[in-house]
Homo-oligomer: A and B are copies of this chain.
Amino acid sequence: MKNNSDSKKNNKISFSSDYTKGAHPRILERLTETNFEQNDGYGTDDYCSSAAEKIKNACGCPDADVFFLVGGTQTNQVVLDMLLKPYEGVVAAPTGHVAAHEAGAIEFSGHKVLTLPVNNDVLSAYSSDKDNVSCKYATYSDQIGKITAVDLRAFIKGFYADDNHEHMVFPGAVYISHPTEYGTLYSKTELAEISKICKDFDIPLFIDGARLGYGLMSRRTDVTLKDIAEVSDAFYIGGTKVGALFGEAVVFPKGVPTAHPVPVIKQHGALLAKGWLLGLQFDTLFTDDLYFEISKNAIDKAEALRKGLIEKGYKLYIDSPTNQQFIVMEDEKLKAFAENVRYGFWEKSDENHTVIRLATDWATTDDDIEKLMSLL
């Protein structure tokens, strides 16, 4: 997403995204403390082992396999290539990151992204104004960016019912993001329903958790990390957007589905030589619940922001329960706003209005919110 950046950017307050800052200070401290230690390469070091143990413990799945990769698209590509057979594709929402914003990384590794047919009801404009929420794509704004169990079952059943299905791409995995790209969340029941379908058809469920912490710490969720591990066959715990310099922790709760994960990771160019840099960061994040604590900070700040926005009469584009808030702003007003604030441009909602994203993160301060509110 493009930001309204310019030369004066560092004089501006920024809410443009959640990957604009470095890392939690504790991570930088530990990197500095351990800088001259000598570690084994490629993830075989003690920090990776320790981080994996802590993560397995937090997930309640002692038999899990845990790997550490560098970024989100890379992780989606590697994990799906592990889960899918050559003739299989991954089922996803049309708005899913793997479908829309990875420049064809999944197809690059030979697999089709099977997007669920867009639901007519969802397509129809959502015109009512209850709770100051306006969303042109979703009947209920909390559904936007999500797939539904009904659509998923219909799609997979339809596939197998089709006499031609051996000439089609088999659904070989289901991908969901939690939170979604629109900041929305699945409920525990929704996850259970999707998981049930996956089990019924023996299709693994993969959860993209690039912003998982912000989902788990939402005030409007009943889903825990253990639930995530329970319902899925693979998921990742995002570090890049949640307090790490970089890095994603991939968890296979029931074990990794290949006899040799290392060469698979390597052939994707995804095996970090100094793997301990990843291990050490996740070891830090999963010590004393740091990951959850800093995720909660983003939520607290986002809720304060949301409350303020509603109070000031702004129209929420999506009523997001996580760290990304979306509002519709008049273009004239936006111009002035942009002088002082960096935001994420989302889309034009009509000729004179724009949807913008304001994202909080692990490091957002009360002061940041106050300044922002004073400018709105």
* Residues on B with beta carbons closer than 8 Å to the beta carbon of A269: 71, 73-78, 102, 105, 268-270
Give Cα distance in the complex from A59 to B102, angstroms. 32
Interface size class of A (residues with CB under 8 A): 35 or more
Digitize A17-45: 1 where CB-to-B-CB distance is under 8 Å, 0 elsewhere.
10111110100100110111111111000
The minimal Cβ–Cβ distance linking A375 to chain B, given in whole angstroms, is 16
Interface of A is mostly: loop
The minimal Cβ–Cβ distance linking A356 to chain B, given in whole angstroms, is 12
* Residues on B with beta carbons closer than 8 Å to the beta carbon of A266: 73, 102-103, 105, 166-167
Given A35-B28, A81-B86, A273-B72, the answer on whether A267 and B168 have CB atoms closer than 8 Å is no
| Cβ-based interface call for A1 (8 A) | yes
Cβ of A268 and Cβ of B108 under 8 Å apart?
A: yes
Cβ of A164 and Cβ of B1 under 8 Å apart?
A: yes
Cβ of B168 and Cβ of A263 under 8 Å apart?
A: yes
Cβ of B104 and Cβ of A169 under 8 Å apart?
A: yes
**Chain A 141-199 residues near chain B, CB threshold 8 A:** 163-164, 166-170
| Cβ-based interface call for A333 (8 A) | no
| Cβ-based interface call for A220 (8 A) | no
Interface-forming stretch among A2-10, A291-299, A324-332?
A2-10
Cβ of B5 and Cβ of A34 under 8 Å apart?
A: no
Given A22-B31, A266-B103, the answer on whether A245 and B277 have CB atoms closer than 8 Å is yes
Give the one of A28, A112, A166, A267 with max B CB within 10 A. Answer: A267
Given A71-B269, A77-B269, A273-B240, the answer on whether A38 and B342 have CB atoms closer than 8 Å is yes
* Residues on B with beta carbons closer than 8 Å to the beta carbon of A16: 38
Cβ of A70 and Cβ of B264 under 8 Å apart?
A: no
The minimal Cβ–Cβ distance linking A40 to chain B, given in whole angstroms, is 5
| Cβ-based interface call for A201 (8 A) | no
The minimal Cβ–Cβ distance linking A41 to chain B, given in whole angstroms, is 6
Digitize A254-284: 1 where CB-to-B-CB distance is under 8 Å, 0 elsewhere.
0000111011101111111110010000000
Interface residues of A (CB under 8 A from B): 1-3, 5, 9-10, 14, 16-17, 19-23, 25, 28, 31-32, 34-42, 70-78, 81, 85-87, 89, 100-105, 107-113, 117-118, 120, 123, 163-164, 166-170, 240-241, 245-246, 258-260, 262-264, 266-274, 277, 342, 345, 363
